Amino acid sequence: MKEYVYNQPFPCKILDVTGELFDLERGDTVITYDGKTLNFLSHSFAATQINLREDFMRVYTVEEMNRYDRIYESAMIAAM
C-alpha cells in the first residue's frame, strides 16, 4: 500500500471506473495497492506512473523513512 497526496494548485475532475465524475483537490490523499489503480474514498481510478510523479507527492511511512536513513548511512560509511 502506498499513499500519495494530490499536489496541484487547481482541482482536477476525474472519471472513476464506474463512470462517476468526482473532484480531487489539493491535499486529498489517495491510496494504491497495485501501482495502477488509485482509490479515493469510494472512488477508484487509473493512473500512470507519469501522472503519479507529476500530480501527486508520495507519503512515506515511518518504517520506509527509517529504512532509507539506514541505506543512506550505510552508503556514507562505505564511501569513507
CA 29/CA 58 separation, integer angstroms: 10
Per the structure, how many domains does the chain have? 1
**How do residues 7-32 score in pLDDT, each as one tens digit?**
999 999 999 899 999 999 999 999 99
Query: Is the pTM value of this prediction over 0.85?
Result: no
- Give me 29's grid cell: 490523499
**Could you tell me which of 10, 13, 29 has the C-alpha nearest to residue 21?**
13
In single-letter form, the type of residue at position 47 comes to A
**How do residues 34-49 score in pLDDT, each as one tens digit?**
878 899 999 999 988 8
Enumerate residues 6+ apart whose C-beta is below 8 A from 2.
Answer: 31, 32, 35, 58, 59
> Residue 66's domain spans which residues?
2-79
**How do residues 52-76 score in pLDDT, each as one tens digit?**
888 999 999 889 889 999 999 999 9
Give Cα 74 to chain centroid, integer Å: 27
**Could you tell me which of 5, 45, 1 has the C-alpha nearest to residue 21?**
45
